[in-house]
Amino acid sequence: MRASVIVAVIGLVGTVSAAAIYIMPSCFGSHPDKSAPTECPAINGRWHSDGNSITLDMVQTKCDIASVFSGPTQNHVLKGNWARGQFHFEIKRTGNGCTTKMYGTLVNISATEMTSMISGTDGQCDLPANFNEQLLWRRL
């Protein structure tokens, strides 16, 4: 169902003021129904990667994901969502007085494993903009 937009137009035509109210169909497209089921894998829970020796707790609300975890010298805040068949995320990485953003996806998701693929950064701190990393995560 499309929403309608009510537009009031008040103007001055010669010496006569005019007012009109138009009811127009929305031209901005329909808003998704928040109650409709969205298809995305359930990845909430505890995950571990031997590749970087990090364990994280993934929190999932519908198809939005978030996690806060620490590496050897940095803290990480991950936020993402499901789009185009995979989770897309951004990680804010802070350490040694510097913050950088890393961008990536979660792919090959099963009930017990998933792969994170970092495909770039904002180029700040010690990570170049073309930094990439692929890690296998196992559910604990």
CB 128 within 8 A of CB 121: yes
Residue 72: per-residue pLDDT = 82
Q: In 1-140, which residue ranges form alpha helices assigned H by DSSP?
A: none
Residues of the chain with pLDDT under 50: 1-37
* pLDDT tens digits, 19-48: 433 333 333 333 344 444 468 999 999 999
List CB contacts of 133: < 8 A, sequence separation 6 or more. 104, 116, 117, 118
The rounded distance, in Å, linking the Cα atoms of 124 and 98 is 8
DSSP code at position 47: E
pTM of the model: 0.72
Domains and CATH numbers, the chain: 45-139 (2.40.128)
pLDDT reported for residue 38: 62
